[in-house]
């Protein structure tokens, strides 16, 4: 083998040593990956047919090109014709019952094969996940794909049909020459998917399964062999980062070729690697818990195997290099990269016990599902409190809304009081599915206090209880009095609460839909500005359009605000202009406890608001996305806080941001133990429905609670 270990161990990490190490890793990767490139056989490099040299070659970086080769290459003595192909039996496999209550699960043993075309053959055995002496097993994490089960495999000597996606995954796993556990858990095979009772009993065990697996094998799907140069780049980067003890600053910016043997930002390998971000695996809800709970993770993409940490390292570096690399990615690749970053953050925060159940459901709101129930069920192992003895009694046959109701009721009974209080922030009439819907179920409407987890996506209104680093404290020490009463599907299905009214909404700005309707009569978005600038690309045009929408919204809100000032309704505010500017931020000025590592404080919100309005009108590049200064940060934060909101003035002289579907006459309440105020709509005396959460200036830190007594809180019922 024409590859030698670079000398210099123990020496100073010079650029020459880094380049030599990267080149060596690249050579070894080329030789290793080439050993399974035969299109006919599973464990063959193509020499069975007398093919030529090593198929893959290392990246050519620098002035000293090199190649990988194998001397005295052995020839695999394998048949070139499949004389006795495995026949699929005609008898259909039937599952035998297992005792799920005791912890029994099935795992499979995957038979080896000679030809890639050989049918998948597995043996199913039963083990007990709660038995400390159970055999080691791996677990497969993959994208389910189309729910068409036309691919036949052999299971315990009989025919079992699976879909094409899983069949491909199993064949890739079978051909993997790396050491792996003898047994493998695969959801679509190890659980009888047609047995509703078994499904209900096995799904709660999935947390134990992924925690108990020796290795979780992540399969990103199939990919063309041309992805190799991206694979090579990932391994080179991983080696260099380890030598630098993860000091990635050395790898950021140009000049990488000279310093560490990495290609320049314009090299095709960076774009090639990013193809992995198009994998549907990154969009799934189920994959979150599968990797978060894993002890060890290995990845597979087509022919290529790699460590999870290598993928993380590469993604991290690409993110740090910012525009040098990221701006060259396609939109689908950028979304996938952000999805991977989300998974990594969730994994870190969950393991550090910093992620609440409601935050997890919100963070995964745009992840894809094949069954609407999986918005909750797909994360169940991470949602359940670790200390409670009362398990969530799941029925996977329930209509989706009924499952959401029972989960909300379970939260109110078993979760920590802060999680119970947070539940309402994700509920309300403002957070409901809008037609058209992908769900064919026709069920009972959800009570307003139950979150509709299918209604949330990345365009949803921000949740004020979690919008900033330091949570609000509007109810300041008042008790949480929330109990679910009545039965789902009845008129008397409600929760108890105590509340204090901040007054009814007296005036409202128009919401985005109303503004869009009004402008459709002939006025244009550009009429809000002096002129429309020339935009260079589709992304810039989209961002400019969002800026204009916000400016229109702001101008309408400013009219409502100015009218209240003129009518002397805002006497409670010493500086109404500053109150208005802070309200459009939902109170998050990034100062003090709300500062973050990547932000700057907004010292003067009024000045920043004026700069943003003027900047959008003149297309000031100082406010571009990614620019770090108080004015650009104000713009970003205000656009998030005001999205799908109306500006409101109450009869008691408060100003705030309320849900877009709020109406004049709706009432704003502080609720016992809940961190933000809510807009409620009265059904009858003491009976209300939640419209949604709100930001009301000068009440968010408990200022009102300090001025009232316990007798001022009144019992209310929320339907």
Range in 51-65, 171-185, 636-650 with the lowest mean pLDDT: 51-65
Mean pLDDT of 198-212: 96
State the number of CA atoms in the 13 A half-sphere of 207 facing the CB. 13
DSSP H or E segment with residue 494: strand 494-508
Task: Looking at the structure, tell me whether residues 539 and 636 fall in a common domain.
Answer: yes
| Per-residue pLDDT, 319 | 78
Q: 532 with 547: CB under 8 angstroms?
A: no
Distances (CA, A) of 232 to 2, 222, 339: 18, 17, 23
Q: Which two tokens stand for residue 250?
A: 């050395």
Work out the pLDDT band at 577, boundaries 50, 70, 90: very high
Q: Is residue 149 part of a domain?
A: yes
Task: Looking at the structure, tell me whether residues 552 and 478 fall in a common domain.
Answer: no
Distance in angstroms (rounded) separating the CA atoms of residues 594 and 86? 64
Q: Is residue 452 part of a domain?
A: yes
Task: Looking at the structure, tell me whether residues 118 and 187 fall in a common domain.
Answer: yes
Q: Is residue 8 part of a domain?
A: no
Distance in angstroms (rounded) separating the CA atoms of residues 379 and 286? 7
Q: What does the radius of gyration of the chain's CA atoms come to, in whole angstroms?
A: 29
Task: Looking at the structure, tell me whether residues 433 and 365 fall in a common domain.
Answer: yes
Work out the pLDDT band at 670, boundaries 50, 70, 90: very high
Angle between helices 576-583 and 605-618 (to 10 degrees): 60
Range in 218-222, 235-239, 368-372, 602-606 with the lowest mean pLDDT: 235-239
| Per-residue pLDDT, 707 | 95
Neighbour tally for 66: CB within 10 Å: 16
Distances (CA, A) of 305 to 108, 139, 219: 21, 16, 9
Q: How many domains does the chain have?
A: 4
Q: Which two tokens stand for residue 367?
A: 């992840």
| Per-residue pLDDT, 322 | 59
The percent helix, strand, coil of the chain (3-state, each to 5) is 40, 15, 45
Distance in angstroms (rounded) separating the CA atoms of residues 528 and 703? 37
Q: Which two tokens stand for residue 18?
A: 């880094």
| Per-residue pLDDT, 296 | 97
Q: 668 with 654: CB under 8 angstroms?
A: yes
DSSP H or E segment with residue 200: helix 196-202
Q: Which two tokens stand for residue 408?
A: 């909300």
Task: Looking at the structure, tell me whether residues 553 and 485 fall in a common domain.
Answer: no
Task: Looking at the structure, tell me whether residues 248 and 303 fall in a common domain.
Answer: yes
Mean pLDDT of 180-208: 96
Range in 46-60, 106-120, 292-306 with the lowest mean pLDDT: 46-60
DSSP H or E segment with residue 414: helix 400-414
Task: Looking at the structure, tell me whether residues 497 and 385 fall in a common domain.
Answer: yes
| Per-residue pLDDT, 522 | 46
Distance in angstroms (rounded) separating the CA atoms of residues 516 and 526? 13
Q: Is residue 217 part of a domain?
A: no
Distance in angstroms (rounded) separating the CA atoms of residues 222 and 300? 9
What is the per-residue burial (b if ≥16 Cβ within 10 Å, else e) of 336-360?
bbbbbebbbebbebbeeeebbbbbb
Task: Looking at the structure, tell me whether residues 362 and 494 fall in a common domain.
Answer: yes
Q: Which two tokens stand for residue 99?
A: 């005792």
Distance in angstroms (rounded) separating the CA atoms of residues 474 and 674? 7
Work out the pLDDT band at 258, boundaries 50, 70, 90: low
| Per-residue pLDDT, 523 | 46
Q: Is residue 7 part of a domain?
A: no
Q: Is residue 522 part of a domain?
A: no
For residue 164, what are the contacts with CB-CB under 8 A and spacing of at least 6? 145, 146, 148, 150, 151
The top-scoring range by mean pLDDT among 77-86, 413-422, 438-447, 578-587 is 578-587
**Residue keyed to tokens 């070729």:** 257
Residues of the domain holding 161 = 100-171+180-194
| Per-residue pLDDT, 2 | 44
Task: Looking at the structure, tell me whether residues 500 and 394 fall in a common domain.
Answer: yes
**Sign of the torsion angle spanned by Cα atoms 608, 612, 613, 617:** positive
Domain limit, last residue, from 299, 315, 349: 349
Query: What confidence tens digit (pLDDT) does each residue in 391-400 have?
Result: 899 999 999 9
How are beta strands 137-141 and 655-659 bridged, if at all?
unpaired
Cis peptide before 436 (omega within 30 of 0): yes
The overall average pLDDT reported for the chain is: 88
Q: Is residue 494 part of a domain?
A: yes
The percentage of residues in the chain with a pLDDT greater than 70, rounded to a whole number, is 87
Domain limit, last residue, from 596, 613, 642: 642
Q: 298 with 307: CB under 8 angstroms?
A: yes
| β-sheet bridge partners, residue 714 | 499
User: What are the CB-based long-range contacts (under 8 Å, 24+) for 371-377?
Assistant: 372/400, 372/438, 372/439, 372/441, 372/454, 373/398, 373/400, 373/403, 374/285, 374/286, 375/285, 375/453, 375/454, 376/403, 376/404, 376/407, 376/453, 377/203, 377/403
Task: Looking at the structure, tell me whether residues 626 and 670 fall in a common domain.
Answer: no
| Per-residue pLDDT, 25 | 84
Q: Is residue 464 part of a domain?
A: yes
H/E/C letters for each residue in 241-271? HHHCCCCHHHHCCCCHHHHHCCCCCCCHHHH
Phi/psi region, residue 254 (left: phi>0; alpha: psi -120 to 50; beta: rest), is beta
User: What are the CB-based long-range contacts (under 8 Å, 24+) for 165-173?
Assistant: 165/221, 166/142, 167/120, 168/221, 168/222, 169/140, 169/142, 169/219, 170/110, 170/120, 170/122, 171/116, 171/120, 172/219, 172/222, 172/300, 172/302, 172/303, 173/110, 173/140, 173/217, 173/219, 173/300
The yes-or-no verdict on residue 450 having pLDDT over 50 is yes
- Residue 420's Cβ-count burial label (10 Å; 0-12, 13-18, 19+) is buried
Distance in angstroms (rounded) separating the CA atoms of residues 563 and 583? 16
DSSP H or E segment with residue 358: helix 357-363
| Per-residue pLDDT, 448 | 97
The yes-or-no verdict on residue 172 having pLDDT over 60 is yes
Task: Name the nearest CA neighbour of 714 among 695, 697, 682, 691.
Answer: 682
The yes-or-no verdict on residue 389 having pLDDT over 80 is no
Residue 437's SS3 state is coil
- Residue 204's Cβ-count burial label (10 Å; 0-12, 13-18, 19+) is middle
Task: Name the nearest CA neighbour of 645 among 659, 626, 631, 624.
Answer: 659
Task: Name the nearest CA neighbour of 222 among 261, 173, 172.
Answer: 172
**Size of the chain, expressed as the number of residues it contains:** 719
- Answer with the residue of higher pLDDT: 538 or 669: 669
Task: Looking at the structure, tell me whether residues 636 and 701 fall in a common domain.
Answer: no
Mean pLDDT of 34-47: 85
User: What global pTM score does this model have?
Assistant: 0.89
Task: Looking at the structure, tell me whether residues 374 and 462 fall in a common domain.
Answer: yes
């Amino acid at each position: 083998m024409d590859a030698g270990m670079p000398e210099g161990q123990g020496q100073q990490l010079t650029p020459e040593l880094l380049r030599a190490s990267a080149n060596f890793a690249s050579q070894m990767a080329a030789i290793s990956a080439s050993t399974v490139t035969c299109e006919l056989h599973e464990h063959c490099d193509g020499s069975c047919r007398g093919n030529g040299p090593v198929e893959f070659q290392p990246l050519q970086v620098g002035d000293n090109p090199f190649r990988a080769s194998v001397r005295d290459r052995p020839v695999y003595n394998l048949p070139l014709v499949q004389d006795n192909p495995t026949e699929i039996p005609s008898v259909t496999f039937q599952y035998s019952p297992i005792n799920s209550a005791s912890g029994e699960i099935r795992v499979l043993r995957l038979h080896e094969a000679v030809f890639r075309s050989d049918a998948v053959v597995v043996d199913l055995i039963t083990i007990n996940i709660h038995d400390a002496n159970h055999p080691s097993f791996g677990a497969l994490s993959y994208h389910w794909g189309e729910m068409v089960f036309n691919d036949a495999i052999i299971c315990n000597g009989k025919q079992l049909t699976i879909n094409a996606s899983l069949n491909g995954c199993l064949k890739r796993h079978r051909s993997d020459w790396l050491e792996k556990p003898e047994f493998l858990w695969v959801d679509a095979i190890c659980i009888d998917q047609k047995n509703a009772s078994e499904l209900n009993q096995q799904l709660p065990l999935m947390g134990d399964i992924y925690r108990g697996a020796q290795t979780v094998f992540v399969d990103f799907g199939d990919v063309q062999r041309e992805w190799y140069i991206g694979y090579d780049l990932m391994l080179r980067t991983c080696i260099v980062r380890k030598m630098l003890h993860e000091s990635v600053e050395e790898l950021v910016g140009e000049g990488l070729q000279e310093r560490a043997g990495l290609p320049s930002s314009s090299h095709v390998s960076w774009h090639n690697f990013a193809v992995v971000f198009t994998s549907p695996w990154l969009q799934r809800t189920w994959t979150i818990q599968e990797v978060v709970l894993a002890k060890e993770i290995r990845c597979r993409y087509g022919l290529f195997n790699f460590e999870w940490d290598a993928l993380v390292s590469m993604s991290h570096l690409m993110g740090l290099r910012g525009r040098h690399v990221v701006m060259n990615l396609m939109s689908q690749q950028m979304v996938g990269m952000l999805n991977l970053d989300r998974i990594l953050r969730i994994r870190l925060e969950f393991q550090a016990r910093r992620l609440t159940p409601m935050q997890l459901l919100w963070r995964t709101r745009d992840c894809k599902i094949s069954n609407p129930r999986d918005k909750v069920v797909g994360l169940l192992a991470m949602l359940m409190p670790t200390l409670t003895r009362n398990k969530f009694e799941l029925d996977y046959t329930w209509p989706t809304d009924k499952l959401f109701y029972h989960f909300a009721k379970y939260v109110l009974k078993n979760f920590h009081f802060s999680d119970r209080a947070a539940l309402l922030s994700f509920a309300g009439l403002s957070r409901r599915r809008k037609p058209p819907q992908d769900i064919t179920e026709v069920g009972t409407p959800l009570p307003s206090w139950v979150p509709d987890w299918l209604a949330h996506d990345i365009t949803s209104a921000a949740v004020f209880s979690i919008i900033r680093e330091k949570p609000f404290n509007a109810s300041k020490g008042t008790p949480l009095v929330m109990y679910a009463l009545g039965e789902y599907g009845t008129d008397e299905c409600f929760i108890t609460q105590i509340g204090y009214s901040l007054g009814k909404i007296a005036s409202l700005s128009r919401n985005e839909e109303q503004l869009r309707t009004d402008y459709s009569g002939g006025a244009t978005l550009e009429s809000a500005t002096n002129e429309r600038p020339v935009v260079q690309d589709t992304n810039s045009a989209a961002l400019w359009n969002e800026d204009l929408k916000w400016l229109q919204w702001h101008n309408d809100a400013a009219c409502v605000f100015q009218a209240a000032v003129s009518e002397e309704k805002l006497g409670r505010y010493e500086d109404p202009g500053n109150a208005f500017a802070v309200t459009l931020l939902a109170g998050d000025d990034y100062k003090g406890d709300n500062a973050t590592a990547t932000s700057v404080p907004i010292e003067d919100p009024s000045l920043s608001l004026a700069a943003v309005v003027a900047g959008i009108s003149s297309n000031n590049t100082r406010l571009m996305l990614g620019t770090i200064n108080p004015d650009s940060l104000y713009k970003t934060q205000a656009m998030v806080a005001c999205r799908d909101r109306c500006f409101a003035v109450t009869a008691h002289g408060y100003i705030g941001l309320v849900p877009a579907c709020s109406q004049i006459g709706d009432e704003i309440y502080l609720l016992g133990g809940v961190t933000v105020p809510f807009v409620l709509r009265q059904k009858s005396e003491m009976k209300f429905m939640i419209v949604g959460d709100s930001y009301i200036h000068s009440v968010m830190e408990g200022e009102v609670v300090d001025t009232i007594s316990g007798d001022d809180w009144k019992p209310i019922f929320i339907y």
